[in-house]
Chains A and B, each alone.
Chain A
Amino acid sequence: MIEVQRPETQLSLKQQLAQRRRDLNVTTDTIASEAALREKEILEDSLSKSRSLESSKLVSSMMQRRQVRKQNLDQSMGKSMRGDGEIPSIPTINVDDQDLDKSQLKPLSSSVNLSTSIRDRLKDRAKIQQDSAMQKEPARKLRGLRNRDLQTRFDIESEDSAPPEEKHSRDDEITEDHTDSTNQLSTSLRWKMLAKRGKIAEEPEEKIDEYSFFTKVYEPVGGHEKQPKKSALIIPEVDDTNFAQYDSLYVVTKPELPKHNASPILFAPTSAPAETVTLHGGAPCFLDDEGIYVGEPPGVNSSNWNKMEQRLIQTESGKKWFGIDGNMIVAPDPLKQISSRPMIDFDVDPTIQRTAKCISLSQTGKFIGESSVNQLSVSITQVQFSHHPLFSKEHVLVSQLRDLHMQYTSRQRHNLASHLGDRLQSLRNAVQELQYTLGAKPWDMSKPFNKDCVANLEDYSEEIRNVREMWDIECMKDKTMIRTILTVWKEIKTLRETQGFIATNAKILVYKEQTNFAKEDKEWQKQIKSTFEESKEEMMAEYDEKMKIHYNEMAEWKMQAREIKKRMKASKSKEVITEEGEEATTGVLPPKPVAPAKPQTSSLLNEIQSNAVKCRKVPGDPILRIELTHTVTITPIEECPPVEQKRRKDILKSSCYGKLFYNNSEVTRSPNINLTSDFTLNFGESVCLQVVHWPESIKFELWSISEKLSEIFLVIPPNDRHTGNAELDSLEFSSSHKVTYPNSTAVGSGVPESVDGKILLTSGKLFGSTAWVKDASGKILAPVRHDIAATFGRADPIHAIGARSLNDMEKVIQWISEAKLDPNDPRNAPLLHLMNRTRKDAPGDTKYFRLDHLEKSTYFVSTEELENDRRFSLLSLRNQGVPEYKPMKMVPMYSSEVTHFEYAQTEKEEKVSLKEEGDVFEHHRAAVVRFMQEIQEKIASRSRKVRPMLELSDVVVEDQVPDISTLGRSIAKLLEPRHPLRPQRKERKKVTNQAVGITKVDLLVNVSQAQCLPIRSRTTASEQRMTLDPNTARSTIQLRPFVEVTFQRQSSVTHVADGPNPHWNQELVLPLNVINNEFSASNLREITDIVYFNVFDEIIVDILADDRLRDTNIHQRLERRWLGSFQIPFSTIYINSRIEGKFKLNVPSTLMGYNKDHGLLPHLMTSDMLLSQTSLTGQTDKNSYLTIFITVEPPLAPHPALREVFDTNEEPRLIRAAAAWELLYNGEHGSRSVRSLVTDVNGKSVFITRYIGPQNPPNELVPEDRNMRKSLVELQKIAKFVSLIPYYQDSIAFSGSCDIWATSELFLKMLAGDEEEHAILLCNYFLYMGIDSYIIKGIGIPEGETCYVLTKQMEGNVLWNPSTGDYHPQSRPYHSLVSVHFCFNNENIWANIQPYDDPGRLDFNFNNTKNWKTFFAGKESPKLSTVQVSRLDYTETNVPAIQTLESNLEKMLMDKIMEWRERHVTRWNRHCRVVMRQLLPQLEMGSLSEEDQVSAMSEIMSSHNVTGFPINMRYSDASTIIETVYSTNVHVAEDPTVEFALTVYIHPYANNVLSVWIYVGTLTKKY
């Protein structure tokens, strides 16, 4: 069957046909022509058919068969194919073979004697398929054949369809018929055909492949060498049709697709190497041959590699995966060959474990990190003195001579003179040659060639001059050398004669070599001549040069001259008067340049000749050769003069020894070696060192008996130098020690020598060697590090020089230069970059080494750009958790979209605060705010660093396993006595973290009861008329109070109760609004809102005008009168999670229309009240109380407390003691906790007692009289001053993260602080007043954790609330201080270990150790220096500023009231205001009783019903005051006739502490 497709050559069908014909032509010689014809017909037929649609199926089936056959072939070829056979080329051959076979070549090929098992098998298979093929035959018959006589065709088939045995036998017969020569003939024929085909194919590779296919010796499959060839030839002979059913059995190897064929589905790449593909189809070139870096490809199995290549070749686009070298493009292996980290051997013998630790440091440290043996061999053979103190003068000269001779011999050896002479000659020759090539016109510059030549010529002549000079110098040196040697020798000889003995054996022999004068003279003359020529030329050139300059100068001079002449003429004609002097200024002719003299050549020759005579050997002179021998016999000692005898004896006596040091530690020392008469010390010592440390120095010290002569550092051997290849080093040394030998011929050393006046120092040479020992197995016992460096360390500096050395720039550079890094390897780029940079820079300029210098190149924008980017800075600020930016959402995508508003929020805030009310106080406030922000920022950044670690309980909800104690407690609870009438609140479960999905949080306020509210005064009995029902108006209705709770401008009220001691027991619910509705801890703690509690009296005013309607109508108005209030910041509730207790109500000192003297009937008073009425001082307690319970629902997790670990300046001992003390106490006493260290403004821990120390109050508050100082009244004034300093909750300021304790000085400066600061200041004032005072730290109501001041006075213990200025005797039953945890003063801290902690029951005798645990036990309390300044300075309060503030405030409040009453007309009663204004200063002084007030107001009260009250508060800012006034609900007065009165008074204290008084009231006309 004929192959239509030939994928390899991709020839068109016609070409194929043509070729086929050609093939056939070749074969016709041996085959029957009819067969060829038939073949041709079939071919043509198939071609014509294949064009038609019908035949497409046929073609594809043919294709498949072909592939199958190919597969078969592959298999049969077996492994022999692998390696180089090109698969697609095989079918081509098959085609040919088949053609030949069909053309009855078959007998030829089969004639070969081969037991073709493969062939047989194939044939068998073919026979099996025969029947079906026969049946199919008609169907697949070509159209062209249908009309023909099919005889011939059947013929073939019949041949094929013969039974196998028969066929086989026939084959055998044929084999007998044909000889081997025919077989060879057929092969040669095929060869020819192949050659032709190769030409047509235009593919050299294919040819080669085919060639190799035939020529390569394959592994014999059946043992026969030619078998594969044969099988390849034979298989195709089986008819294709017979394979029809085998199609499915074989996976088709896909050849290149024919255009009209359906694409095959499967492709199975073989592991044979794919054909070489290059990107541009050209021949592959190899990059690494061209010096381009090609990395090491990663190790991949070659079969996988081949498969991949085949896959890629398969697709058109796959070609791009091949590089120009014909291989797949692969990235170099990214793995390092060795690990950067030095290996640590963990299997260390436990007995030497300590050493092993050292070893682990080995790579960088001193130790050699190997357990292997490292041996260093040091051998010292000889020391030869070039000068020794025992040298005689002769010796000195001889050693001089020896030196000279050595120089001489080395000069002889190098023979520079003759070398230079040769060079000169060759240069001259070259010049001659050049001149010859330049020919007649050497200076014709038109030709570029000539130009070059001339340039060369110039170069040459320059060089000739140089060489000539050098030659002269060298020759001169040679000459002088010989001369000096001879003079020294002469000196020696004379010395020997004069001294009368011979001390040395040195002798100079001079050999003379006679020379040919004629020859030398000729040479000499020639030299002289050429030198002369050259010099002349040079001189001429120089002259030319000079002349050129001269011409230029002349031209210039002429120009000048002409100009001057012109000018002179002009001046003369114009101004005859011009004087001579002026002429000079116009210009004198400069001197005419002198032409250079022509060089004189006459003297030149003489000069040259004399120079030559001086330097060189004159022709005819003999050549001298000098030899130094030691043949002179030394005069025996007996014949010498005594001085010489002494010297020689000294020599015999003198001896030396050596010490060997390894890394500056002595290793060994040699025995004493006697000095020989020729001043050598023969040590012959060889030491073998077992080395543990890296060699740093190997030193040899030479000692004479008592003193060190010299130290010589031996060479540290490189580790490839071993004892086998070590050479003897000679190391020179010298010593500066001074030795003299009087009365001997010895010259000594280090002293001026008599002969030349030179100072001769002992010096000499050491001969020795150092090498590593090579052991029996040939291993060099050198430390391993260098091995690593040499083999792998190439790419790894850490291995080579150790990590520690990386900082050492020089070492790194050295390593880089030694390591011979591949400059093309990208991995080495940083190192090479470094090297280049350091080379460029001056050494020592850069003292740092950057490993990440490439980091910069990874930046995609510059740092500045990044910093200036608004969006980026917004994002990073948010990420840092800066409060303003933290809640920011949807940060715009582009910087351009970031509005200025968002970006400059902080700046804006500051501006706003400055803009407000230009008065002093606002400025101050703004400054405080800024200061606070600063501290806050500091603390925040600190706390951000100390990000609290989450604990498991924060993350996972898990039931605690009940232990014995909890079980016991729960059992005990069951047995507890029950008080059903006194229900207690159940403890809520502790909330650990925010539960999910809190969408709503409410503030629950349980208003339980109030006590001792002021009652309506009897003076307002006139109101009784207005009350609801005159009949039921009993005197008992003194009050109808209710409570209003306001939070975040939302309020809720209780029902109205009766009497001054009402019970409400009502739960009010107020919603909590949070920013973004996000109930996160960080969000919650930022709520600064305050919960206001106001108690009002509800008054029902009957406004029914017509009494007749009273029976049927009710027309009333409810009025509320403010009785008192108190406030709790939400942060307190949040931190404490619930607040419960009896709160003191802030009731104004006078409440118009109300009376604090209850005049209660005894039966109405509870026992509690009775108690409260009495006090230590016998005063009645007029305070009103409100009992409430507040919490939030659902419970909110408190913000986790920051573990405050701050820097400190305290002694470590104290810190430790404090920690231990706190730990000991805090565990024992449950809720009570002690602290001994607090954080100051700088964020440092300070011991708590340091804050206490007497400090002076403002002068106005200190009474002159010392006795007065301790009175409660005076103290109360001070307390009031302290309480007037604005309050500023730290936990709000610092986000609840920590509590800052400021010093009093700072506190007064900032005028802001919380309980601690107030308490400390108050305590310090009291101490100044000479009162024993302490600070109590405990829990208070409502502020939670708080500080009180305790004073021990004559009257008893008094507790001071520093933030309100109130004081209570300790014995009083109700305290706003609920529990006492610990007390401290400037000396000690006392922790409460009593069973109770409420102050009423406590014993404040701190000496009682049963009740108080002291920090500094005993009397040994060290006086810790205080952080407070001893003297506080107070600024004078600015009075005019206060007056403006006063009027501003008043105006503002009046405006506000009018604003709040927008539906009504607000009238102001000026008269009342004036009266009030007068009262306020007196109130401030505390000298105004209620009666006085009433009397002052009596005039107004006679005509009006007056309600009103003064409010006293500290001044922090205007808004607080407004808020307070608003909360009194004064403005809610519905009476149309109502008039208002309001006045503001500010009492200034020192340091801008202000007491603000607001008197506000309403007046209604009496009927």
Chain B
Amino acid sequence: MADNSLFLVMINGQVESANFPLYDDLYCRVSVVYGADWLLVSGLEEGTSQITKKTKDEKQKFVWNFPIEVTLKSTNPYGWPRLVIAVYGLDAFGRDVVRGYGSILFPLIPGSHKIQMPMFVPESTSLLQKFTSWLLGTRPEFVDPKFVTQSDGREVTRVRSQGSVSVTCNIMTKDISSAGYVVDSIHSHKP
């Protein structure tokens, strides 16, 4: 396998901050999801940030500055890495509840990108359940946070948007153009 051709994608960035009005004490779980033809070369696929409180100014931001740094090698752009962020927080009774799920495809174009990632949470199936879940602190959650990276089974869920997370990431690729893939916007315009 060693002499096989492959390309490298390095993703280097951070989950900078989040905007969740009405909530406080949030932390996030970050994971990188990729396809079968991808292999993690270095870095951590998953990580959990610190719990942060929102800023006291009018911006009310949650700042994590949680770094993401992974290098992946691949033979196939199918299954391009995605970033999954699940934000959890403590509710009024100090119980851990989910505040948002979100997923983005890492940009294909090398360079620095700033991404605003809208978040959503699954809704309770009924009002009564909403009430009990509030009462018991057991909000509906996805069985697997990585569920948001796939399209199967989405039709059975009902979600509500809340908050957003801003992520910056820098993408570097190696050998991708020699493999015949053009991801560069500059090159792609050249005749």
Of listed A889, A959, A993, residue having the most chain B CB within 10 A = A959
Q: Is A952 an interface residue (CB 8 A)?
A: yes
Which of A878, A888, A951, A993 is the one whose CB lies under 8 Å from B156?
A951
Residues of A within 8 A of B37 (CB): 889-891
Residues of B within 8 A of A848 (CB): none
Q: How far is the CB of B130 from chain A (nearest CB, A)?
A: 10
Once A889-B36, A897-B4, A996-B145 are accepted as A-B contacts, the answer to whether A958 and B140 lie under 8 Å apart by CB is yes
Is B143 touching A956 in the complex (CB atoms < 8 A)? yes
Q: Is A893 an interface residue (CB 8 A)?
A: yes
Distance A994 CA – B144 CA, assembled complex (angstroms) = 8
Distance A992 CA – B122 CA, assembled complex (angstroms) = 17
Q: How far is the CB of B148 from chain A (nearest CB, A)?
A: 10
Q: How far is the CB of A1413 from chain B (nearest CB, A)?
A: 35
Is A952 touching B125 in the complex (CB atoms < 8 A)? yes
Q: How far is the CB of A889 from chain B (nearest CB, A)?
A: 5
Distance A890 CA – B129 CA, assembled complex (angstroms) = 44
Produce 1/0 per residue, B96-134, CB < 8 A to A. 000000000000000000000000001011101100110
Q: How far is the CB of B143 from chain A (nearest CB, A)?
A: 5
Is A958 touching B4 in the complex (CB atoms < 8 A)? no
Q: Is A995 an interface residue (CB 8 A)?
A: yes
Q: Is A594 an interface residue (CB 8 A)?
A: no
Residues of B within 8 A of A992 (CB): 143
Q: Which B residues from 130 to 180 make CB contacts under 8 A with A?
A: 132-133, 136, 138, 140-147, 152-153, 156-157, 179
Distance A992 CA – B147 CA, assembled complex (angstroms) = 14
Once A892-B4, A995-B144 are accepted as A-B contacts, the answer to whether A954 and B132 lie under 8 Å apart by CB is no
Residues of A within 8 A of B36 (CB): 878, 888-891
Interface residue range, chain B: 35 or more
Is A955 touching B145 in the complex (CB atoms < 8 A)? no
Main secondary structure of the interface of B (DSSP, over half): loop
Q: Is A957 an interface residue (CB 8 A)?
A: yes
Residues of A within 8 A of B1 (CB): 890, 892
Main secondary structure of the interface of A (DSSP, over half): loop
Residues of B within 8 A of A890 (CB): 1, 4, 6, 36-39, 74-75
Residues of B within 8 A of A889 (CB): 36-37, 39
Once A888-B36, A951-B156 are accepted as A-B contacts, the answer to whether A959 and B129 lie under 8 Å apart by CB is yes
Is A894 touching B5 in the complex (CB atoms < 8 A)? yes
Distance A1269 CA – B42 CA, assembled complex (angstroms) = 73
Residues of B within 8 A of A997 (CB): 46
Residues of B within 8 A of A974 (CB): none
Which of A875, A897, A956 is the one whose CB lies under 8 Å from B140?
A956
Q: Is A950 an interface residue (CB 8 A)?
A: yes
* Closest A residue to B136 using CB positions: A959
Distance A1112 CA – B112 CA, assembled complex (angstroms) = 78
Distance A897 CA – B1 CA, assembled complex (angstroms) = 9
Q: Which A residues from 941 to 967 make CB contacts under 8 A with B?
A: 949-952, 954-959, 961-962
Distance A1498 CA – B145 CA, assembled complex (angstroms) = 70
Which of B132, B141, B146 is the one whose CB lies under 8 Å from A961?
B132
* Closest B residue to A951 using CB positions: B156
Is A955 touching B147 in the complex (CB atoms < 8 A)? yes
Produce 1/0 per residue, A866-908, CB < 8 A to B. 0000000001001000000000111111100100000000000
Distance A613 CA – B75 CA, assembled complex (angstroms) = 97
Q: Is B76 an interface residue (CB 8 A)?
A: yes
Which of A878, A893, A958 is the one whose CB lies under 8 Å from B5?
A893
Which of A893, A952, A954, A962 is the one whose CB lies under 8 Å from B75?
A893
Is A893 touching B179 in the complex (CB atoms < 8 A)? yes
Is B75 touching A892 in the complex (CB atoms < 8 A)? yes
Residues of A within 8 A of B143 (CB): 954-957, 992-995
Q: How far is the CB of B177 from chain A (nearest CB, A)?
A: 13
Residues of B within 8 A of A878 (CB): 36
Is B153 touching A955 in the complex (CB atoms < 8 A)? yes
Residues of A within 8 A of B132 (CB): 959, 961-962
Is A958 touching B129 in the complex (CB atoms < 8 A)? yes
Distance A958 CA – B124 CA, assembled complex (angstroms) = 7
Residues of B within 8 A of A959 (CB): 129, 132-133, 136, 138
Which of B4, B7, B74, B156 is the one whose CB lies under 8 Å from A952?
B156
Residues of A within 8 A of B74 (CB): 890
Distance A994 CA – B142 CA, assembled complex (angstroms) = 11
Once A878-B36, A958-B124, A961-B129 are accepted as A-B contacts, the answer to whether A893 and B144 lie under 8 Å apart by CB is no
The total of interchain contacts (Cβ-Cβ below 8 angstroms) comes to: 92
Distance A1314 CA – B26 CA, assembled complex (angstroms) = 54
Which of A893, A954, A994, A995 is the one whose CB lies under 8 Å from B6?
A893
Q: Which A residues from 705 to 764 make CB contacts under 8 A with B?
A: none
* Closest A residue to B77 using CB positions: A893
* Closest A residue to B143 using CB positions: A993
Q: How far is the CB of A905 from chain B (nearest CB, A)?
A: 16
Distance A180 CA – B31 CA, assembled complex (angstroms) = 88
Q: Which A residues from 504 to 527 make CB contacts under 8 A with B?
A: none
Once A890-B39, A897-B5, A961-B132 are accepted as A-B contacts, the answer to whether A956 and B142 lie under 8 Å apart by CB is yes
Is A958 touching B133 in the complex (CB atoms < 8 A)? yes
Distance A755 CA – B145 CA, assembled complex (angstroms) = 104
Residues of A within 8 A of B142 (CB): 955-957
Residues of B within 8 A of A951 (CB): 156
Residues of A within 8 A of B39 (CB): 889-890
Distance A599 CA – B94 CA, assembled complex (angstroms) = 128
* Closest B residue to A893 using CB positions: B75
Residues of B within 8 A of A962 (CB): 132
Produce 1/0 per residue, B27-54, CB < 8 A to A. 0000000001111000000100000000
Residues of A within 8 A of B4 (CB): 890, 892-893, 897
Residues of B within 8 A of A888 (CB): 36
Distance A99 CA – B185 CA, assembled complex (angstroms) = 54
Distance A996 CA – B142 CA, assembled complex (angstroms) = 10
* Closest A residue to B29 using CB positions: A996
Which of B76, B78, B125, B179 is the one whose CB lies under 8 Å from A958?
B125
Distance A952 CA – B124 CA, assembled complex (angstroms) = 11
Is A956 touching B157 in the complex (CB atoms < 8 A)? yes
Distance A766 CA – B143 CA, assembled complex (angstroms) = 83
Distance A1024 CA – B25 CA, assembled complex (angstroms) = 72
Q: Which A residues from 967 to 1000 make CB contacts under 8 A with B?
A: 992-997
Residues of A within 8 A of B141 (CB): 956-958
Distance A893 CA – B152 CA, assembled complex (angstroms) = 27
Q: How far is the CB of B101 from chain A (nearest CB, A)?
A: 11
Is A996 touching B144 in the complex (CB atoms < 8 A)? yes
Of listed A890, A891, A954, residue having the most chain B CB within 10 A = A890
Is B136 touching A891 in the complex (CB atoms < 8 A)? no
Q: How far is the CB of A775 from chain B (nearest CB, A)?
A: 53
Distance A957 CA – B152 CA, assembled complex (angstroms) = 16
Q: How far is the CB of A257 from chain B (nearest CB, A)?
A: 27
Distance A35 CA – B38 CA, assembled complex (angstroms) = 85
Is A891 touching B75 in the complex (CB atoms < 8 A)? yes
* Closest B residue to A991 using CB positions: B143
Residues of B within 8 A of A956 (CB): 122, 140-143, 156-157
Is A950 touching B5 in the complex (CB atoms < 8 A)? no
Residues of B within 8 A of A892 (CB): 1, 4-5, 75
Distance A890 CA – B79 CA, assembled complex (angstroms) = 11
* Closest B residue to A887 using CB positions: B36
Residues of B within 8 A of A (CB): 1, 4-7, 36-39, 46, 74-76, 78, 122, 124-126, 128-129, 132-133, 136, 138, 140-147, 152-153, 156-157, 179
The 10 A-B residue pairs with the shortest CB-CB distance in the complex, in nearest-first order: A950-B153, A958-B140, A893-B75, A952-B156, A993-B143, A959-B138, A957-B141, A956-B122, A956-B140, A893-B5
Sampled A-B contacts (19; CB under 8 Å): A889-B37, A891-B37, A892-B4, A893-B4, A893-B75, A952-B156, A955-B157, A956-B143, A957-B140, A957-B141, A958-B129, A958-B138, A958-B141, A959-B129, A959-B133, A959-B136, A962-B132, A992-B143, A996-B146
Additional pairs, 5, CB under 8 Å, beyond known A959-B133, A962-B132, A997-B46: A893-B6, A956-B143, A957-B142, A958-B140, A961-B129
Residues of A within 8 A of B (CB): 875, 878, 888-894, 897, 949-952, 954-959, 961-962, 992-997
